């Protein structure tokens, strides 16, 4: 999976098509990612010590990684991701449309 936490992505299919957001979490085993403000669901919470009233909250659910593309803020377009390997063996990701390197996301 070439998408990492902190990357900016654009949704390319589904109900939220065209939405640009930041990746909050990545799960490579299920191939799902959580994007800020995308695929909002309502979840019922039981009362607990932290939340004595309980109630219904709205939060993001995971979407499949194949439904998003990395978004280049400078070029303002979505692009595929390539990997360059230098002579020392270090891998760097880059946007295939513009050729610019991708800054590493948050860890």
pLDDT of residue 104: 73
pLDDT tens for the chain, 107 residues long, are 889 999 999 999 999 999 999 999 999 999 999 999 999 999 999 999 988 998 999 999 999 999 999 999 888 999 999 999 989 989 999 999 988 998 875 65
CA-to-CA dists, residue 19 to 26, 31, 67, 68, angstroms: 18, 19, 11, 10
pLDDT of residue 105: 58
d(CA 103, CA 6): 10
Q: Name which CATH class applies to 8-78.
A: mainly beta
* Secondary structure letter of residue 38 according to DSSP: S
Helix and strand numbers, DSSP H then E, in the chain: 0, 10
* Secondary structure letter of residue 33 according to DSSP: E
Question: What DSSP line would sit under 46-92, residue for residue?
Answer: ---SSSTT-EEEEEE--EEGGGEEEEETTTTEEE-EEEEE-TT--EE
């Amino acid at each position: 999976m070439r998408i990492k936490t902190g990357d900016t992505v654009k949704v390319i299919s589904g109900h939220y098509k065209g939405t640009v957001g930041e990746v909050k979490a990545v799960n490579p085993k299920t191939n799902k990612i959580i994007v800020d403000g995308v695929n909002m669901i309502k979840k019922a919470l039981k009362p607990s010590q932290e939340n004595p009233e309980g109630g219904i909250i709205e939060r993001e659910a995971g979407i499949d990684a194949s439904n998003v593309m990395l978004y280049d803020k400078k070029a303002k377009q979505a692009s595929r991701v390539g990997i360059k390997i230098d002579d020392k063996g270090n891998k760097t990701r880059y946007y295939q449309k513009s050729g610019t390197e991708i800054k590493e996301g948050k860890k």
